[in-house]
Amino acid sequence: MTADQRPKLHGLDMLTEKGRAEWDAAGMQVSVLAESPYKKDFPLLAANPQLAFLDSAATAQRPTAVLDAQRSFYETMNANALRGLYKLSVQATEAIEAARAHVATFLGLSERDACDILYCRNTSEALNLVAYSFGSMVLKEGDEVCITVMEHHSNLIPWQQACARAGAKLVYLYPDEQGFISEDEMRAKIGPRTKIVAATHVSNVLGVCNDVALMAKIAHEHGAYMVVDAAQSVPHMPINIPELGCDFFAFSGHKAFGPFGIGVLWGRHDLLEAMPPFLTGGEMISSVTEQDAVWAPLPEKFEAGTQDAAGIFGLDAALTYIEEAGFEALQAREQALVNVCMHRLGELEFVRIIGPDDPAAHHGAISFNVCTVHPHDVASILDMDDVAIRAGHHCAQPLLAYLNVESCCRASLAFYNDSGDIDKLIRGLKHVYSMFHG
């Protein structure tokens, strides 16, 4: 790889030794990245100081506050919510509903909209709910569903399947060389035949943030509906659903510092009212006869079976943790870390970064390849040096095919990382390269 084939990193040349003062003066405060004030809040990180955990886009670490909340739920209010008529069950129900209102305000909605917040297992389940219940309601033969080529399989397969069931066509939006989907591309693909536009808010591979508000606007101009997969955006930026103007919005707790197994779907009230249920069974009915049933009102209509109340309580605590730390501080730190990481990767002539040149466009995720070394070898060797990254196709095979990359490595950063983690990554990559080219 020659120097001019390597990606150019705009505005980062100041981060050489001599430029450090300028960088600090520019407000990036490299020195404060040396030690993370957050690691102490995360027991796994605190207990493993040698570990550079750079896979938060796969699943984040959990703060003590979340773990304590889950434990405290089981210790102080464990009962099956909704069902019981005794104090514990009432308390559990109240905890679930208070968390629901919290999720609503966290997403920029009002507490009154809490009934449109549906609990599910994760983003995949939320998107399957939309593809099945809403897809089956609106999709007809000859219609089009428009998604992006950078979808995680969880926002791709459900639409492939929904299209196959309805005889509809799946249409793709493609990004430019920097990973951005232009308005022209949106206007070329979203048209009168489009019924649903479904897009990832932030790409789990490229890190780019799609302009889902613009997609929603264009979709609505054509009478189509907008579904947002926010699994990768919720951990990284404040969300305001009314500003996005979408019709459905899904995210997972575990990527947002909350527990595994709890996810959220928000849907527009009138659409949720009109949709048939997805899963059926206990607690999602008003009344049942031998041959028929009447569905419960929202949100219970979409919440069959016993909910993971402790998980919901933990998610509530995760959102509180983010709010108390403040998105502004978290984002500034994360961005500074991404700036440093991309700059240092850019200094390695054997590393090719995949995705936009601008570090501000990465939202924590930096995908790359090491010249002539398979990503799985890179990840295995980094693991020997206690550096945890993801390698493979990142559940985004059509994107990698589009980029003409068989597989790649991904380091993903969160605010709890520090520059020491980046040092370990860089040292580890030099080790990888020397093993293959030493």
Residues that contact another protein, how many (by CB under 8 A)? 15
Q: How many CB atoms lie within 10 A of CB 388?
A: 18
> Does residue number 381 form part of the binding site for another protein (CB under 8 A)?
yes
**Whole-angstrom Cα distance, residue 423 to residue 185?**
39
CB contact at 8 A, 103 and 315: yes
**Smallest gap from residue 53 Cβ to another protein (A):** 16
Q: What is the DSSP letter of 359?
A: G
Exposed e or buried b for every residue in 291-320, given b needs 16+ CB within 10 A?
eeeebbebbbbbbbeebbbbbbbbbbbbbb
> Does residue number 385 form part of the binding site for another protein (CB under 8 A)?
yes
**Whole-angstrom Cα distance, residue 113 to residue 269?**
8
> Does residue number 380 form part of the binding site for another protein (CB under 8 A)?
yes
Q: Cβ closer to another protein: 24 or 377?
A: 377
What is the per-residue DSSP string for 74-115? HHHS-S-TTT--SHHHHHHHHHHHHHHHHHHHHTT--GGGGG
Place of tokens 């920029």: 108
> Does residue number 373 form part of the binding site for another protein (CB under 8 A)?
yes
**Whole-angstrom Cα distance, residue 244 to residue 394?**
26
Place of tokens 């549906």: 118
**Smallest gap from residue 283 Cβ to another protein (A):** 37
**Smallest gap from residue 10 Cβ to another protein (A):** 32
**Whole-angstrom Cα distance, residue 85 to residue 98?**
18
Q: Is 110 exposed, middle or buried (0-12, 13-18, 19+ CB in 10 A)?
A: exposed
CB contact at 8 A, 244 and 228: yes
* From 87-95, 181-189, 331-339, 369-377, span contacting another protein (CB under 8 A): 369-377
| Choice among 246, 395, 408, 409 that is catalytic | 395
> Does residue number 374 form part of the binding site for another protein (CB under 8 A)?
yes
Q: What mask of x and - would describe binding to another protein in positions 137 to 156, judged by CB under 8 A?
A: --------------------
Site residues for another protein, window 284-343 (CB under 8 A)? Answer: none
Place of tokens 């790889």: 1
* From 38-46, 72-80, 358-366, 370-378, span contacting another protein (CB under 8 A): 370-378
**Smallest gap from residue 78 Cβ to another protein (A):** 34
> Does residue number 430 form part of the binding site for another protein (CB under 8 A)?
no
**Whole-angstrom Cα distance, residue 29 to residue 20?**
9
Q: Which of 161, 407, 423, 427 binds another protein (CB under 8 A)?
A: 407
> Does residue number 435 form part of the binding site for another protein (CB under 8 A)?
yes
* From 127-135, 168-176, 326-334, 373-381, span contacting another protein (CB under 8 A): 373-381
* From 285-293, 336-344, 380-388, 413-421, span contacting another protein (CB under 8 A): 380-388
Please report, as a single letter, which amino acid is at residue 419. Answer: S
**Smallest gap from residue 351 Cβ to another protein (A):** 17
Q: Which of 393, 398, 420, 427 binds another protein (CB under 8 A)?
A: 393
Rounded-to-10 torsion of CA 269, 274, 276, 281: 50
> Does residue number 427 form part of the binding site for another protein (CB under 8 A)?
no
Q: What is the DSSP letter of 296?
A: P
**Smallest gap from residue 372 Cβ to another protein (A):** 10
Q: Give the number of C-alpha atoms closer than 13 A to the C-alpha of residue 223, restricted to the C-beta side.
A: 6
> Does residue number 103 form part of the binding site for another protein (CB under 8 A)?
no
> Does residue number 436 form part of the binding site for another protein (CB under 8 A)?
yes
Q: Cβ closer to another protein: 108 or 392?
A: 392
Q: Is 371 a catalytic residue?
A: no
Query: In this structure, is the dihedral angle defined by the CA atoms of residues 402, 403, 405 and 407, taken in order, positive or negative?
Result: negative
Separation of CA 76 from chain center = 31
**Whole-angstrom Cα distance, residue 181 to residue 177?**
10
* From 94-102, 176-184, 269-277, 378-386, span contacting another protein (CB under 8 A): 378-386
> Does residue number 406 form part of the binding site for another protein (CB under 8 A)?
yes
**Smallest gap from residue 383 Cβ to another protein (A):** 8
Q: Cβ closer to another protein: 34 or 384?
A: 384
> Does residue number 22 form part of the binding site for another protein (CB under 8 A)?
no
What is the per-residue DSSP string for 21-55? HHHHHTT--GGGGSS-SSGGG-HHHHH-TT-EE-B
> Does residue number 377 form part of the binding site for another protein (CB under 8 A)?
yes
**Whole-angstrom Cα distance, residue 438 to residue 428?**
14
**Smallest gap from residue 188 Cβ to another protein (A):** 32
**Smallest gap from residue 222 Cβ to another protein (A):** 37
* From 41-49, 250-258, 259-267, 384-392, span contacting another protein (CB under 8 A): 384-392
User: Which positions touch another protein (CB under 8 A)?
Assistant: 373-377, 380-381, 384-385, 392-393, 406-407, 435-436
Residues with a catalytic annotation lie at 395
